[in-house]
Amino acid sequence: MESGMNPTNRSKTKEFNKPSPNLKSKEIKRITKLLKKKVYPSINLKMHHNSKYSETDFLDLLTYVAITHDFTNNGSKTFELLKENTPASNTVIHHIKKLDSEYVEKLFMKTFDKLIKEATKYKPFRKRVDLAIDITEQMYYGDKNDYMVCETKPKDGTSHCFRYITINVVENGKRFTLLALPMHKFTTKAKVVRKLIEYAKSKVKIRYVYLDRGFFNSEIINLLKELKVKFLMPAIRNVKIQRFMREYKEVQSKIIDYDMGYRKYNRAEFKLVFVNDKQGVKRVFATNIVVAEELTQQYFSWYSKRWGIETSYRVKGDFKARTTSKYYSVRLFYFMWSVCLYNIWVLVSLVVAIIFHIYLKKPLVTAKLFGAVLYSSEPRGIT
């Protein structure tokens, strides 16, 4: 661990237990600069050795565009007023669109690896963590036949989108994306769920995995059991489950054995949990987590953690640049960079909270201020 990132050297003195706003701000800036120094070099844009601009110049501009939710064309002009020697928007787009999508995906997997390596130096990520898998869609108004465009439910005047799937740590103060993957319209959920969980198992110790009802099918459930992970997800209320709901209408909680599927090879067996939420509404979960029937309320409490992923997606919007580009590699790069920025932001708060013994309920700095520190800092020479 680099000495500058080690909180143990700084947390023993009394003054760090109750930091002044100025002291905390200085530490946020220092850790942000250190993470920039570690992460930026992993983003290789295949620049020519005698290029006028560096990857750092490009990434600083993209960070500015992301936190201002602007188009690169307009953002590059306003960023030029803040920082000298900044690349023009067409230069940035030209370099990114030359990268194929497979390269971009691998590029950011390496970057996520580096961020996870930093995160797992700290106790909150060394214990067993709860994870959530979810799908996010970015609506698309171009040609439905463009590469990687998927069909989806109509929204905001279109029924087409680009689709991504993520696996996230969901704990108070540390909603952290371990991996994000693009999905093609022919990509099966089982294939990407396997990839996400196998990746996560290689990085962290998993306690529970939460999924939404869109993953409620026998193939996914059998896969989760094969991978030996404990899972929890809402069940789709099919005819059979609706019958059980009527049967247990007056019962506050009930756990039963359930099997799903019509053929032997596609049959899944698991627990079906019926439990009233705090408002008295009956909820139904599919799980392989064993809990005594009198403690079934715990299932609903656990699953409420999954809403952390909803929060993370809303907050990731704070790092979302706008684009009308038809080049998929550009759109993929923008999405992955927004996830990367989000992770750095979360990690900065985590490290500073540990230094000052702060119980972390939410990030210690706004996304906009964090972004400003990131793009304006010079990582060379920082220790």
- pLDDT tens readout for residues 124-148: 888 899 999 989 999 999 999 999 9
pLDDT of residue 1: 45
pLDDT of residue 12: 42
Angle between helix 328-355 and 89-97 (nearest 10): 100
Q: Which 3 state secondary structure label does DSSP give 208?
A: strand
Residue 81 CA, chain-centre distance (Å), reads: 32
pLDDT of residue 360: 76
Q: Is the pLDDT of residue 18 over 60?
A: yes
Tell me which residue has tokens 């979360």: 346
Q: Is the pLDDT of residue 13 over 60?
A: no
| CA 19/CA 355 separation, integer angstroms | 10
* Burial grade of 224 (CB within 10 A; 0-12, 13-18, 19 or more): buried
| CA 56/CA 171 separation, integer angstroms | 31
pLDDT of residue 11: 43
- The pTM for the full model equals 0.88
| CA 122/CA 181 separation, integer angstroms | 25
pLDDT of residue 227: 98
Q: Are residues 55 and 47 in contact, defined by beta-carbon separation less than 8 angstroms? A: yes
**Closest C-alpha among 381, 383, 377 to residue 36:** 377
* CA distances from residue 32 to 38, 219, 336, 349, 374 in whole angstroms, order as listed: 10, 42, 19, 9, 6
Q: Is the pLDDT of residue 3 over 60?
A: no
| CA 81/CA 87 separation, integer angstroms | 12
Tell me which of 206 and 295 has the higher pLDDT: 206
Q: Is the pLDDT of residue 276 over 90?
A: no
State the average pLDDT for the chain.
Answer: 87
Q: How would residue 252 be classed by pLDDT, with cut points 50, 70 and 90?
A: confident
Tell me which residue has tokens 């026998």: 218
Q: Which of 155-164, 173-182, 295-304, 349-358 has the lowest mean pLDDT?
A: 295-304
| CA 177/CA 183 separation, integer angstroms | 17
User: Which residues share a beta bridge with 282?
Assistant: 276
Number of H helices, E strands in the chain: 13, 9
Phi, psi of 259 (to 5 degrees): -130, 145
Structure token pair of residue 383? 């220790």
Other Cβ atoms within 10 Å of 346 Cβ, number: 23
